[in-house]
């Protein structure tokens, strides 16, 4: 994927350095690209990135193999009424009827699930913006909290925006908001007047700063409680 991106940029794109924006597994590609070709990249935007080293729930694979496309789409969005619609299901159904395409898609998803980019994130030389849905059921936002905190502690130039009531595809569910945030970031505009603030919850057009360390601690605490409850139930 990185080699193909390099070929495309060399053949068709404008003069580098490039701004690269991706979501989910695509983030693995642009992070690897930026590490391999740092002179070609100026900024990165990672939307709900995968490959952060934690558990990932991939209903995509089950949905494709079991032909349960509605459930697959439902897992991606928080606002199911607006996005789990017949038109989207039909488009995916037509695409997945191609066996070669379907098998290739599943294989790619399986490979991406095993790939981890956490070390590569610390090698990045360019500014990075995370944009994540707080109700992401595919990749829990806690993984992005941890990645952003590790990068911050490492001295990386990293910012993060969390979107409440939003799932794994903010670029679709909150398209206007996300597009504006990306353009502002790439143009060097700040999200608040305080340069010390690097993490925000964005709701109704307002940016509310939050403490990244506390947010991560809260997520980890909730995760431990869940595991404890599961362990109790599992005891005969």
CATH of the domain at 173: 3.40.50.1820
Same domain, 75 and 145: no
Same domain, 228 and 148: yes
Same domain, 108 and 121: no
pLDDT band per the 50, 70, 90 thresholds, residue 65: low
How far apart, in Å, are the Cα atoms of 151 and each of 20, 27, 97, 147, 227? Answer: 18, 16, 42, 6, 27
Same domain, 137 and 188: yes
Structure-derived torsion over alpha carbons of residues 37, 41, 45, 48, reported in degrees to the nearest 10: -10
Higher pLDDT residue, 109 or 176?
176
Same domain, 47 and 77: no
Q: Looking at the predicted structure, is the pLDDT value of residue 169 above 80?
A: yes
Same domain, 49 and 64: no
Q: Looking at the predicted structure, is the pLDDT value of residue 9 above 60?
A: yes
- Model confidence pTM above 0.85: yes
Q: Looking at the predicted structure, is the pLDDT value of residue 10 above 90?
A: yes
Domain count, the chain: 2
Same domain, 224 and 143: yes
Residue span of the structural domain in which 79 resides = 59-113
* CB-based contact 219:145 (threshold 8 Å): yes
Q: Looking at the predicted structure, is the pLDDT value of residue 104 above 70?
A: yes
């Amino acid at each position: 994927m990185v080699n193909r991106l390099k070929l495309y940029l060399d053949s068709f794109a404008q003069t580098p350095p490039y701004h690269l924006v991706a979501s989910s597994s695509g983030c693995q590609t642009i992070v690897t690209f930026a590490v391999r070709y740092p002179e070609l990249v100026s900024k990165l935007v990672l939307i709900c990135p995968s490959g952060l080293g934690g558990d990932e729930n991939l209903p995509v694979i089950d949905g494709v193999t079991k032909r349960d496309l509605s459930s697959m789409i439902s897992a991606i969005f928080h606002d199911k009424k607006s996005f789990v619609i017949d038109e989207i299901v039909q488009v995916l159904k037509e695409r997945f009827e191609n066996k070669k395409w379907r098998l290739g898609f599943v294989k790619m998803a399986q490979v991406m699930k095993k790939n981890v980019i956490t070390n590569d994130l610390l090698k990045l030389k360019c500014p990075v913006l995370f944009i994540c849905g707080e109700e992401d059921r595919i990749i829990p936002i806690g993984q992005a909290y941890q990645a952003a905190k590790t990068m911050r502690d490492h001295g990386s130039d990293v910012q993060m925006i969390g979107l409440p009531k939003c799932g794994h595809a903010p670029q679709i569910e909150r398209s206007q908001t996300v597009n504006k945030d990306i353009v502002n970031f790439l143009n060097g505009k700040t999200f608040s007047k305080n340069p010390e603030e690097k993490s925000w919850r964005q709701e109704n057009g307002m940016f509310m700063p939050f403490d990244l360390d506390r947010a991560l601690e809260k997520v980890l605490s909730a995760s431990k409680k869940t595991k404890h409850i599961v362990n109790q139930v599992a005891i005969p």
